[in-house]
Amino acid sequence: MSRVEVCGIEFDDLSIREAVEKALWLMEEARSVIAVTPNAEIVLEAQRNRALRAVIRSAELVLADGTGVLQASRLQGKPLHHRVPGIDFCSALLARMAELGQRVFLLGGVEGVAEEAGERLSARYPGLVIAGTHNGYFDAEESYELIEQINAAAPDLLIVCLGSPKQEIWMKRCQERLLVGMMIGLGGTLDVYAGRVKRAPERWRSLGLEWLYRLLHEPKRLRRVLRLPAIYALALFRRLVK
C-alpha cells in the first residue's frame, strides 16, 4: 500500500490488523528495522528537527498516532483512513507474538518500570517471552553495554520508551549494531503497561479525546497542547502552495 504524505511525513495508511501483519513480516527478516508512531506533536517537531525527520522518513513502518494527524491529512486534501495509537498497535502485536512464542525486550522508564511492565505483560499474554528489561537512563558509554545486553537477549521486538525525539534518534544511531527483528519508539507506553499511568477510558479514546483526558490529569501538558493547532495551519498552507 502506498503511503500518504502529511506535512512532509509519509504515513502507512494501515489498520491495526494490517500494521501487525506487516510488523510480523518485517520481524522475520531480522534487519533491526525501525517503526515509529508520530502524533501531531512529533510531526511538528520534525519540521525543525532534521535528525528526527530523517529517522521517520527512513522508518520501515510509520503509523499515525492521534486525531490531529488525521485531521491535518483531511485539511491537506489527502485523508488518512486509519488512526493507529502506538499502545494499541503494540498490544495487538504482543498478542500475536505470544501466539508465536516470540521474544520482546523492554527499554525505558525510571528504575523498575520496565520490570513491572514485563511482569504484567507476561500475565496478560501467556506465551510471550520477556527477553530482557532495562531502564531508560543511561549515558553514551553505558549504551554500548546495553546494546550487548539486548543482542544477547536476541529479541524479535525491542520496545524503546525514551521519549521523542530521543528514542527515534537512539534507534537510528544504534541500528547497525543492534541484532533485533524490529524496534519501535513508544514514549510513555511502559508506564501504562506497568500500571503507573492510567490511560483514558475507552469512551474518551473513541471520541478522539485522549489528549484532553491526559491534560486534565496532567495540567503541565498545557503548553504542549497549545502548540498542536499549528499542524492544521501547516496542512492548509501546504495544500495552498501545491
* The pLDDT value given to residue 225: 62
Give the domain ranges of the chain.
Answer: 3-236
Nearest to 58 by CA among 80, 43, 38, 36: 36
CA distance 137 to 102: 26
Query: Is 107:161 a contact under the CB 8 Å cutoff?
Result: yes
CA distance 108 to 93: 19
Q: pLDDT tens track of the chain, all 242 residues?
A: 579 999 999 999 999 999 999 999 999 988 999 999 999 999 999 999 999 999 999 999 999 998 899 999 999 998 999 999 999 999 999 999 999 999 999 999 999 999 999 999 999 999 999 999 999 999 988 999 999 999 999 999 999 999 999 999 999 999 999 999 999 999 999 999 999 998 778 887 777 777 677 767 777 766 766 677 889 888 988 888 76
* The pLDDT value given to residue 237: 81
* The pLDDT value given to residue 28: 93
Query: Is 138:166 a contact under the CB 8 Å cutoff?
Result: no
Element (H, E) at 34: strand 33-36
* The pLDDT value given to residue 195: 96
HSE, CB side, 13 Å, CA atoms: give it for residue 101.
0
pLDDT digits (tens, 9 = 90+) for 173-226: 999 999 999 999 999 999 999 999 987 788 877 777 776 777 677 777 667 666
C-alpha distances in angstroms, 59 versus 171, 187, 241?
A: 10, 16, 27
* The pLDDT value given to residue 133: 98
Q: Which amino acid is at 5?
A: E
